[in-house]
Amino acid sequence: MTNLYYYRIYGLRVQSSEFLPYLAISIDAEYDLSINIIYQPVDKHPKIDPVVEPVYASDGLNADGIPYLTIWRQHFASLHIIAKYVIGTEIATFTCDRSGNNINVYLSEGVRFYDMIAYLYGPIFGCILRLRNSTCIHGGVININGNAVIITGHKEAGKSTLIASLAARGCPVLSDDIATLSFSNNDGHYSVLPGYPCLRLWEDIIVNVSNQKAEQFERVLSFTDKYYLPLTKDLNIHELKFQETELPLKAIYFLKPRNTDGLLTIRPVSEYEAVRSILQNAYAGYMLEGMSIASEFRLLSDLVKYVKVRALEHPNDISYLNDVCECLIDDNP
């Protein structure tokens, strides 16, 4: 009899054919997303219709000049989403159906398992959430005084570093990479759903926030120096905590490019700038089409009327992190 594993992530109840590290384990066997991991040579992987153009290709290129990750959306095929992670001659192929209820992962022999889950937990789950009409922001989420605070901004703005620094000050982490919004028709409030109990950090940041050596943890991707820092209770060898339940959304902060003149400022932004900035930092925004774009715009236009939105500018110097954290905590009493 095949073992099955059950998890919770981004509001999804997941059943997997294999153990998936770092995810929050579910105590019941109910699920609305099935993941099946299949080990097959590349020539047995599902094929993409050659006339279909990709909706996404990663900026990072492998040694052959091919994007590490490419995603296609086949509107009239049973395999609605196909994504391929390519490293050398080895490939991980992800497929999901139109409903977003089933994911198949095809792994060739040389693909590192932790490389695969980096893309599964990020872009692939992002596609699934979008197929289910979830609104997602590319950013980390932290619990400050019982409320969810989203930290977003452009790539390399320091989102994960700031989230980890707040966690080191006792603020539980709600999500490291995807802020998944939930709206309650009962009270008209917005909340954020928990991701998975793990941070993905550069080596020096792990040492700074946890006093642990990064080498004892798994690399996020085989070709980077980012590592998984687990927050699960059984693996937690530091004081950082994970927020296991959704929280009401109180504030969104946009990290501006880090400056060199020592300025630390938090300023309000207009509703127009807030909506525009959230759309620019949408997670898996390439999945939005037609009516879903209009629906997301209406939701965000309503959200910024009730949620505090700020721009945050801070120095490009790790010694200022404590000051930045204090400002954020003081701004969210």
Per-residue pLDDT tens over the stretch 95-127:
999 999 999 999 999 999 999 999 999 999 999
Same domain, 162 and 119: no
Q: What per-residue confidence (pLDDT) applies to 45?
A: 96
- Of the residues 92, 113, 131, the one at which a domain ends: 131
Q: What per-residue confidence (pLDDT) applies to 111?
A: 95
Same domain, 124 and 262: no
30 CB burial (10 A radius; 0-12, 13-18, 19+): exposed
Q: What per-residue confidence (pLDDT) applies to 237?
A: 60
Among the residue ranges 1-5, 167-171, 328-332, the one predicted with the least confidence is: 1-5
With cut-offs at 50, 70 and 90, classify the pLDDT of residue 86.
Answer: very high
- Of the residues 131, 159, 174, the one at which a domain ends: 131
Task: Please tell me which residue, 293 or 76, carries the higher pLDDT value.
Answer: 293
Task: Give strand pairing partners of 104.
Answer: 36, 95
pLDDT greater than 70 at residue 317: yes
Mean pLDDT of 137-143: 96
Note the maximum CA span of the chain: 62
- Of the residues 83, 99, 131, the one at which a domain ends: 131
Among the residue ranges 19-23, 206-210, 285-289, the one predicted with the least confidence is: 206-210
pLDDT greater than 70 at residue 38: yes
Collect all residues with Cβ–Cβ distance below 8 Å to 53 and sequence separation of at least 6: 72
Same domain, 122 and 193: no
* pLDDT tens digits, 223-238: 999 999 998 665 556 6
Same domain, 110 and 172: no
Same domain, 210 and 187: yes
Same domain, 242 and 104: no
Tell me the torsion sign for CA atoms 169, 171, 174, 179.
negative
Q: Which residue range(s) make up the domain with 90?
A: 5-131
Total structural domains within the chain:
2
Same domain, 127 and 140: no
Task: Please tell me which residue, 234 or 327, carries the higher pLDDT value.
Answer: 327
Q: Are the C-beta atoms of residues 79 and 71 closer than 8 Å to each other? A: no
Same domain, 25 and 124: yes
Pairing state between β 90-96 and 308-313 = unpaired
- The C-alpha atoms of residue 205 and residue 165 are separated, in whole angstroms, by 9
With cut-offs at 50, 70 and 90, classify the pLDDT of residue 14.
Answer: very high
Q: What per-residue confidence (pLDDT) applies to 234?
A: 58
List the one residue out of 265, 243, 245, 270 whose CA is nearest residue 255.
265
Same domain, 122 and 198: no
Identity of the residue numbered 225: D
With cut-offs at 50, 70 and 90, classify the pLDDT of residue 79.
Answer: confident
Pairing state between β 173-175 and 90-96 = unpaired
- Give the position of tokens 């940041």: 205
Mean pLDDT of the chain: 91
- The C-alpha atoms of residue 10 and residue 13 are separated, in whole angstroms, by 9
Same domain, 176 and 307: yes
pLDDT greater than 60 at residue 1: no
Collect all residues with Cβ–Cβ distance below 8 Å to 77 and sequence separation of at least 6: 49
With cut-offs at 50, 70 and 90, classify the pLDDT of residue 40.
Answer: very high
Same domain, 269 and 307: yes
Identify the H or E element spanning 118: helix 113-119
Same domain, 119 and 143: no
Collect all residues with Cβ–Cβ distance below 8 Å to 223 and sequence separation of at least 6: 87
Q: What per-residue confidence (pLDDT) applies to 232?
A: 67
